[in-house]
Amino acid sequence: MTTTSRAVLIDVPGGPEAMRLAEVPVGEPGPGEVRIRHHAIGLNFIDVYHRTGLYPLPMPARLGMEGAGVVEAVGQGVTHLQVGDRVAYAAQPPGSYCDVRVMPAMNVCRLPDAIGFEEGAAMMLKGLTAQYLLKHCRPVEGLQAGDWVLLHAAAGGVGLIACQWARSLGLRVIGTAGSDDKCRLAEAHGAEVCINYRTHNFVERVKAITGGQGVKVVYDSVGKDTWEGSLDCLQPFGLMVSFGNASGPVPPFAPGILGPKGSLYVTRQTLFTHIRSRERTQAMADDLFSVVTSGQVRIHVAQRFALADVQAAHRALEARQTIGSTILLP
């Protein structure tokens, strides 16, 4: 059977206007693949990097890495999914901005009954990221309840999930965000203190809050604007986890600067290393599903756009006008 689907395409990298809705053919799933009809699609900052060409894709390209829906057809060799299953995923290759798609089944997980499609589409890429940040990126001495960590963009999609999850692990979270309202939101989601880094020097505030000690880990997805300051917030042997570039990529740096700042560790992480096998994806997803179904982490879907309004959704995300998670509705 071949059907068609609306899908968002770009022919060349560019601004939000580079995205266009087109009708594309959809066939049967091949070995290791499934066909999914979306009920909701997740919007992520990585989609902006793909659209602008910061993370290059072969052109023309489809966009979107996260979605939730129902399995319509299952290819040969796929044993963990059946037709009719409610599912959600964070997965490569990009292409979730559409009604229906064929894709590799490896990163597709069955959704627990208690989790709706909107939450599912809003939480997989962001929630699995929070999972590995908190559980699989550790400083030398490990993270323990009571340790301070710094989390930038704390009121965003990854941010609100990570604040709540970190708090449930007993960590003391200092957040940063771009407005006082966003700070209050992050504090309502588990940040002990949130600093408006547009009006305050976050390095000085972190030092004051931690009694001069600094934090054990910095989770930095802002990149260029916060890089240097983030290093200065760390205690000796502290760990800098760089995982995004919302303000632009981190400029090249000399490793020698890490010594005098306290023998620091730096890592650059990407979710797709962590979810490179079915077993690992499922184990991380089960952990995420358990904190969501138990209520320890609530998924805050704060913005909804029609798929056809994808340009407006990207403009809002890039203009820092969104909070929590944003979804597109097919």
Q: Which residues bind ligand NDP (CB under 6 A)?
A: 44-46, 125-126, 129, 153, 155-159, 177-178, 182, 221-222, 225, 243-247, 269-271, 317-318, 320, 322
Give residue number: closest CB to ligand NDP. 156
274, two tokens: 């962590």
DSSP code of residue 146 = T
CB of 110 vs ligand NDP, minimal distance in Å: 22
| 161 or 231: CB nearest ligand NDP | 161
Q: Pairing between strand 148-151 and 86-90?
A: unpaired
CB of 21 vs ligand NDP, minimal distance in Å: 22
| 82 or 273: CB nearest ligand NDP | 273
CA distance 242 to 133: 10
CB of 318 vs ligand NDP, minimal distance in Å: 6
- Is 134:169 a contact under the CB 8 Å cutoff? yes
| 35 or 50: CB nearest ligand NDP | 50
Chain centre to alpha carbon of residue 173: 18
| 74 or 231: CB nearest ligand NDP | 231
47, two tokens: 């989609």
C-alpha distance from residue 218 to each of 163, 266, 267 (Å): 13, 10, 11
CB of 273 vs ligand NDP, minimal distance in Å: 8
Chain centre to alpha carbon of residue 314: 15
CB of 240 vs ligand NDP, minimal distance in Å: 14
| 98 or 122: CB nearest ligand NDP | 122
Taking residue 322's Cβ as centre, other Cβ atoms within 10 Å add up to 19
| 100 or 163: CB nearest ligand NDP | 163
CB of 329 vs ligand NDP, minimal distance in Å: 18
CB of 211 vs ligand NDP, minimal distance in Å: 26
Q: What is the DSSP string of 38-91?
A: EEEEEE-HHHHHHHHTSS--PSSEE---EEEEEEEEE-TT--S--TT-EEEEE-
Q: What are the phi and psi torsion angles at 126 (to 5°)?
A: -75, -40
| 111 or 241: CB nearest ligand NDP | 241
- Those residues whose C-beta lies under 8 Å from the C-beta of residue 68, and which sit 6 or more positions away, are 38, 39, 40, 41, 42, 86, 87, 88, 89, 111, 117, 118, 120, 121, 124
